[in-house]
Amino acid sequence: MALFLSTFTNKVDKKGRVSVPSPFRTALVGQNFNGLVAFRSYRLPAIEGLDMARMEQFSESTDSLDLFSEEHEDITATIFADAVQLPFDGEGRIVLPGNLVDHAGIGETATFVGRGRTFQIWEPERFQEFQDKARQRARDQGLTLRLKPGQDSGQ
């Protein structure tokens, strides 16, 4: 499964094309199509990006919800109905659809933000503001991360 790390800011051309960072493209190699899956974040002014394997996990997770329940309807309408497959062109670029660009407020540049198994695409200033607030909340709450049992802590 793909792992997305770091933050990259790239120019968006007049046709809405943006180069996907090379480490992200490398992480996406080996799936059943040459590209990525994207949809509007329902919590943030950002675009969610992921590989098809992670999207399949999302789909499998909806199986635990009662079919036709309001929760099932809301999640599937929010994620799957909105998701698009964005193929890479020969130069490693994707074309960002207008509804995704509008949702994230992306203009001449886009910031790709690694989030582990997924990534996000932001308008750069919005992301910086979000990241500053997230860091402050983490400090204020004294957040820590506990490794899953059986995983090496690196010490």
Over the stretch 3-20, which tens digit does the pLDDT of each residue have? 999 999 999 999 999 999
Of the CA atoms within 13 Å of residue 90, those in its CB half-sphere come to 0
CA distance 88 to 18: 10
Residue 72 lies in a domain: yes
CA distance 73 to 46: 22
Of the CA atoms within 13 Å of residue 65, those in its CB half-sphere come to 15
Residue 106 lies in a domain: yes
pLDDT tens digits, residue range 68-82?
899 999 999 999 999
Residue 148 lies in a domain: no
- Supply the CATH number for residue 67's domain: 3.40.1550.20
Residue 155 lies in a domain: no
Residue 112 lies in a domain: yes
The token pair that represents 24 in the structure block? 């992200």
Amino acid at residue number 83: A
pTM of the full structure: 0.90
User: Is the confidence at residue 93, as pLDDT, over 80?
Assistant: yes
Residue 1 lies in a domain: no
Q: Which domain holds residue 28?
A: 7-141
Angle between helices 52-62 and 70-79 (to 10 degrees): 170
Residue 32 lies in a domain: yes
Residue 77 lies in a domain: yes
